[in-house]
Amino acid sequence: MYTPKPEHKFSFGLWTIGNTGRDPFGEPVRNALTPAEIVYTIGEVGAWGVNFHDNDLIPIDATAAQAAQIKSAFRKALDDTGVIVPMATTNLFTDPAFRDGAFTSNDPQVRAYALHKTLRAIDLGAEFGAKTYVFWGGREGTETDAGKNPLDAGKWFREALNFVCEYVIDQGYGMRIALEPKPNEPRGDIYLPTVGSMLAFIETLDHSEMVGVNPEVAHEHMAGLNFVHAVAQALDAGKLFHIDLNDQSFGRYDQDFRFGAHNIKSAFFLVKLLEDNGYDNPRHFDAHAYRTSDREDVKAFARGCMRTYLILKERVAQFNADAEIQALLAEITADDGAMDAYKGAYSAEKAAALKAHTFDRIALGQRGQPYERLDQLTIELLLGVR
Ligand code: GCO
Ligand code: MN
Ligand code: MN
């Protein structure tokens, strides 16, 4: 029942399963795996897809012969396991050239290099069948605003994305672009820090129809925001092209915990939102095993992400079928039709009638809502006693 299946579209990045546990204070604690080895692990734990940055697959300084050898081993692992490549992206943050950003660097040579690297990485993604291309601007930001004009930065980023969209169309790749916001880390402040700001920016692009968002649980939580609300706004806009699932405590560094590891209640409402609204794009776990894990425990981490998702999905079905919960919801959202005349599109008559209506404000203010009862039932359901 909690076994992952292809239709769940669970994916992991090469960088997630492959993560060696290096952090700003400590060296790697796990051996590095080749891309092919990571694909076999992903196949073994039962996931559907593997995503990569260009340099997760091909090191930045690889020769053509090395690249060809890596690609053929990777291709064989995909064929052997049936794992597919749904998404690809560009590493625009590791190399020192990007220390002041990529598309928003003050240096025109760096901006051009970022575009060059991205076009080649898009080709690499297309070669392996990726249908979603992610942009996470990890270095697109500042520590001080003394040296960079945020309006210029926005203009440069827009120009680059317009160029990329035309390139994808020109090549006939049929890819969609997903922009991933993050408020900070590794920059002091990253431009377009939240899902809301990214959604607004997308509407300024030449090909906004092919650009959506890739929201990440940890990123909105780092900003102290409600992730479920952010994702709902993206769904409402038809822009939820991809999602990065993980977990994070509020107010901490970028933790990238296993999905559902920290805040089970918000994970539940997230799964509910996705499942109730027929979300059918990839469910990508952009998370890392604890630094204390060995390679065997990394598999437990990966299985845990998927298993928790599927358990929560079952809890959602239970919530939707629970008579007591549904009765409370019906009570909360009850509508006797008395206000129907004022609903819907504007008309001068409707506005006049609404203004003339007398409301019993005191009675309205006396009406409570049984949210405590509903929330306790939700908690009991999640704790497995219903
Ligand atoms: C992070 C980001 C990245 C991106 C990845 C794919 O906080 O480091 O979430 O993991 O998702 O670069 O674009
Ligand atoms: Mn992240
Ligand atoms: Mn991410």
What are the residue ranges in the chain where pLDDT is below 50?
none
The rounded distance, in Å, linking the Cα atoms of 294 and 287 is: 15
DSSP 214-260: --BHHHHHHTT--HHHHHHHHHHTT-B--EEE-B--TTSS---BPTT
Virtual torsion, Cα 333, 339, 341, 342, nearest 10 deg: -90
For β-strands 189-190 and 141-142, DSSP reports them as: antiparallel
CA of 221 to the centre of ligand 3 (A): 13
pLDDT of residue 7: 98
Q: What is the pLDDT of residue 173?
A: 98
* Residue-level pLDDT at 109: 98
pLDDT score for 141: 98
Q: Please choose, from the candidates 196, 189, 190, the residue with its C-alpha nearest in 3D space to the C-alpha of residue 213.
A: 196
The pLDDT, as a whole number, for residue 237 is 98
pLDDT of residue 364: 97
Residue-level pLDDT at 284: 98
Q: Ligand 2 being an ion, which residues bring their Cβ within 5 A of it? A: 216
* Atom number in ligand 1 closest to CA 136: 13
Residue closest by Cα to atom 1 of ligand 1: 138
Ligand 1 site, residue 102, Cβ cutoff 6 A: no
pLDDT at residue number 92:
98
- Closest ligand to C-alpha of residue 219 is 2
